[in-house]
Amino acid sequence: MIFVTVGTLPFLRLIKKMDEIAGNMDEEVIMQIGNTKYTPKNAKYFDFIESYHEIQELNRKARIVVCHDGAGSFITALQYSKPLIVVPKLKKYGECFYDNKVELAIELEKIKKIKKIIYDIDELENILKNIDTDSVTKINEHKGLILALTRYIANLEKPLDNLEVL
């Protein structure tokens, strides 16, 4: 199953293309379309889901996840170490105000947490058919950040004369 997610704001270019691709494929395609004003004909779709667990479940079951360049979507997909294809919104199509949002996707592609970033939507079908779905870098445990926060908060509760130097 291929899971497609675009977040809150509309992303017509991706949804339309994925609908077309779904018509050419046997594999099931499920799309979270947000506020995109388009009715897919070849894929199952919903605008938003009421429960975060269901989104997590869709990510878990997917063979490939295709998403817009939203950090929230990356993080959810990467929790399940799924091959991730990112289609960034582009200023030239009036999809966003500036193009530097894609910085994160580029960094993640460098460290192999994202399989491919697609700027030309016509490449998408080919990539989906030929992608290597093995060997995705496992998500790192974000313990470092949690630990730092826990320590800092615990320190705030100590009496003043007992504070560690952070």
Residues that bind another protein (CB under 8 A): 7-9, 35, 48-53, 71-72, 74-76, 78, 100-101, 103-104, 107-108, 113, 139-140, 142-150, 152-153, 156
Nearer to another protein, 1 or 139 (CB): 139
DSSP secondary structure letter of residue 161? G
The distance of closest approach from Cβ of residue 120 to another protein in the complex, given in angstroms and rounded to an integer, is 23
Of the pair 145, 165, the CB lying nearest another protein is at 145
CB of 23 to another protein, least distance (A): 28
Q: What is the phi-psi region of residue 13: left when phi exceeds 0, alpha when psi lies from -120 to 50, beta otherwise?
A: alpha
Distance CA 72, CA 70 (A): 5
- Which lies closer to another protein via its Cβ, residue 92 or residue 111? 111
From the CB of 59, what's the least distance to another protein, in Å? 12
Rounded to whole angstroms, the Cα distance separating 159 from 166 reads 15
48 vs 129, beta carbon nearer another protein:
48
Q: What are phi and psi of 141, to 5 degrees?
A: -70, 130
**Residue 77 CB neighbour total at 10 angstroms:** 30
Four-point Cα dihedral 9, 33, 29, 78, nearest 10? 40
28 vs 57, which CB is nearer to another protein?
A: 57
CB 72, min distance to another protein, A? 4
CB 86 within 8 A of CB 117: yes
How is residue 163 written in tokens?
A: 């504070």
**Rounded least distance, CB 30 to another protein, Å:** 17
